[in-house]
Structure formats: structure tokens, C-alpha cells
Structure 1
């Protein structure tokens, strides 16, 4: 059930900001962004900081890799809004729609390096099963993925396991392809907040 707060639970200044965004962008603010403005001290600020660190902080993974991880975790959780948003952002970050679509269609045959493949498998298993085995972790390490890269990937998974559940609980509206593309451009230019 979609709570009314996403539609009208904001202070007047925030409502003006939303109206300005709509005026200049030609589209309403996506629900994910709206949620960060409601009780910003409780959710929006901390969640934005966590997601910014996980997806844009220092890492040996590229931004495209981490956005792809967010899409894979979101797909495992069945979160349509986040799959659309982070598929579009990964495609734009890589400048390679085919690569991202191949990973989401069949990870086993996708044209990606083995370390990324093993890491994406790990995140998929962790998200679906809620745990991974020592063998799962050894497989990722054997593919040449460092402990630091594994920790960075797990941070992405943590951020998106939270975000996916909120997106589904608050019934975030899915966007059309142009809406996801606009969001992707914004996320690559501005990130997730501090």
C-alpha cells in the first residue's frame, strides 16, 4: 500500500523544490528521491550517505560495476523500480547497454571479467539466500577479487537490500525508459547525496 506521505507529506519549502524540479526537468521527482526528503534526519541523510559511499566512494570497482551490482541485487529482490533505475545507470556509466543487458539475461555467458562475474554471483546468492558459504567466498577470491573489493561489493548489497525493501513497501512507481534515463544522468552527475 502506498502511503500518502510520498504524495503530500512535505513542508512548504520542499513542495516548492519539487515543483521547480518538475518545471525544469519536465517530469515529477521519482519516489526514491521524494522519500529522501521526508524525515531527512531519520532516513534521507543517513541512507544517502551510505549509498553515496557504497556507489561513489573510493573503490577498485568502477561506478558502472557498482551500479550493475545494485541492479543485480535489485533483480534478486524483485524490485522493479530499482532494477530499472540501476540498469539504466549502469548502461550509461559503462556506455554499453548490451553488456548490462547480457549480465541481467545470463550471468554465466555475459561478456565480463571473471572477478566481476564471481562477485555478482556472490551478491545474487547472498540476496536470495541471506547467507553465503565459505566455498562461495573462496570462489570469489580464487577469481582474483581482493578482500577490499569484496567488502565494497557487500556495501552495495547492504545499501540496496535496504533500498529495495523500502521501494517495495512504499510502492515506488516505475518509470518509462526516458524517466530512468533522466534519473541515470542525474545519478552519474550528482550521486546519492552526502
Structure 2
């Protein structure tokens, strides 16, 4: 159930920011942005910091890979808003929409490196089952993925398992394809701050 507060519960400075976003982007403000600005002291500031670090901080994974991880986790959680948002962002980041669609359609046959495929499988296990084993980790490590890359991928997984649940709990409105593309352009330029 979508609470009305997502449309009305903001300080005057935030309302002005949302007006500027709508004016310059010619798109509605996504509910993901509304949520982080609603209670910045309780959720928003910490979520923005954590998600930005997971998605744009230093990592051997490219931005395109991490956005693909976000789209994949969102797909497993069947979070329509997040699937659309991160599919668009991963597609723009990699300049390869077909690769993104292939991963979301059938990971086993998708044209990705084996280390990324193994990492996505591990994130899938964690997302579906809530746990992974040492054997799961050894499979990923055997492909040449480093422990730090696993840690970075787990941060992406944590960020989007949380965001997916919030998006669905608050019934985030789906945007038009053009709005998701505009949002992807913004995320690639500014990140999650």
C-alpha cells in the first residue's frame, strides 16, 4: 500500500529540489528518491551513503557489472520498479542492452565472463535462500574472483535486497521507459548521493 506521505511529507527545501528535478528532467521524481528524502535522519542518509559506496566506490567490478548485479537481484525479488531502473542503468553503463537482457533471461547462456556468472549465481542463492555456504564461495573464488570482489558484490546484494523490499512495501510507481532512461543517466552521472 502506497502511503500518501511519499507525495506530501517533505520540508520546503526538498519540495523545491523535487520541483527543480521535474523542471530540468521533464520527468517525475522517482519514488526511490522520495523515500530517501522523507526520513533522511532515519533511513535516507545512511541508505544513500551505503548504496553509493556499494555501487560507485572503488571496486574491481565495473559500474556496469554492479548495476547488472542490482538488476539481477531485483529480478530474483520480482521488484518491478528496481528491475526497470537497474536494467536501464546497467544497459547504459555497459552500452549493451542485449547482454543485460540475456543475463536477466537466462544467466547460464548469457554472454558474461565466468567470474561474473559465478558471482551472480552466488548472489542468487543468497537472495533466494538467505544464506550461502563455504562451498558456494569456493566456486566463485575458483573462477578467479577475489575475496574483495565477493565482498563488493555482497554489498550490492545487501543494498538491493533492502531497496527491493522497500520499493514493493511502499508500492513504488512504475515510470515510463523514457523516465527510467533519464533516471539511469542521472545515476550514472551522480551516483546514489
The normalised TM-score by structure 2 is: 0.98
CA displacement, residues 31-66 of structure 1 (integer Å, 9 cap, x when unaligned): 001111111111111000000000000000000000
Could you tell me whether the CA contact under 8 Å between 2:51 and 2:192 is conserved in 1?
yes
Shift of 1:126: 0.5
CA distance in 1 between counterparts of 2:21 and 2:149 reads 36
Shift of 1:13: 2.1
Indicate the residue corresponding to 1:84 in structure 2. Answer: 84
CA distance in 1 between counterparts of 2:132 and 2:102 reads 24
Indicate the residue corresponding to 1:45 in structure 2. Answer: 45
Indicate the residue corresponding to 2:172 in structure 1. Answer: 172
Partner of 1:108: helix, strand, or coil? helix
Indicate the residue corresponding to 1:10 in structure 2. Answer: 10
Indicate the residue corresponding to 2:110 in structure 1. Answer: 110
Unmatched segments (≥5 aa) in structure 2: none
Shift of 1:192: 0.3
CA displacement, residues 61-109 of structure 1 (integer Å, 9 cap, x when unaligned): 0000000000111111111100110110000000011111111111000
Q: Provide runs of 4+ in structure 1 moved above 4 Å.
A: none
Aligned residues: 193
CA distance in 2 between counterparts of 1:150 and 1:181 reads 29
CA distance in 2 between counterparts of 1:39 and 1:133 reads 36
Could you tell me whether the CA contact under 8 Å between 2:64 and 2:90 is conserved in 1?
yes
Could you tell me whether the CA contact under 8 Å between 2:28 and 2:179 is conserved in 1?
no
CA distance in 1 between counterparts of 2:13 and 2:113 reads 47
Unmatched segments (≥5 aa) in structure 1: none
CA distance in 2 between counterparts of 1:11 and 1:138 reads 49
CA distance in 2 between counterparts of 1:17 and 1:53 reads 23
RMSD over equivalenced CA pairs, Å: 0.8
